[in-house]
Amino acid sequence: MAMDPGTRKAVVEKLAAALRGHCPPLVCVKDTRDACEVIGNIPHPYGSTKKIVPGMHFASVVAHKDMVSFHFMPIYYHRKEFESVAPALLKCLKGKACFNFKTANQIDTRELDQLLNRGARAWKKLGYIR
């Protein structure tokens, strides 16, 4: 079932605003009505060819017809560290690093901020941000 456009906009804006709040040190490389992408601020080799990317992917928000996806890469590497920080948000985690939201009420702003703060610390420890 398709998501109401007003609800979709509210969910995207809530998530994107939280991401923008961490720039800098993170870098916002895409910020549109339906999407937001944030990366680290240090070029880094990536993949089997070790191609230098401008920054390691941190998180992104993507609006779909029936939900809004929030891809959060630090949880992929450090899931145990995040389980105690965001129990309500983890109910929306589908797969290893993708949260799916259908309403803005599913997003606990306090938990989201703690999740992003802990993720930024992990990215700093790994050398992806200064």
- Domain residue spans in the chain? 5-126
Residue 44 pLDDT level (bands cut at 50, 70, 90): confident
The CA dihedral of 41, 44, 46, 48, to the nearest 10 degrees, is 180
pTM for this entry: 0.88
Residue 105 above 90 pLDDT?
no
Q: Looking at the domain 5-126, which fold is it?
A: Aspartate Aminotransferase, domain 1 (3.90.1150)
- The whole-number pLDDT of residue 100 equals 94
Q: Among candidates 122, 11, 27, which has minimal Cα distance to 61?
A: 11
Q: Among candidates 108, 113, 89, 110, which has minimal Cα distance to 100?
A: 89
State how far the Cα of 67 lies from the Cα of 54, in Å rounded to an integer.
29
Residue holding tokens 């060819």?
49
- 17 versus 95: which is more confidently predicted? 17
38 in helix, strand or coil?
strand
Q: For 29-45, what is the mean pLDDT? A: 91
**Highest mean pLDDT out of 5-9, 89-93, 110-114:** 110-114
Residue 1 above 80 pLDDT?
no
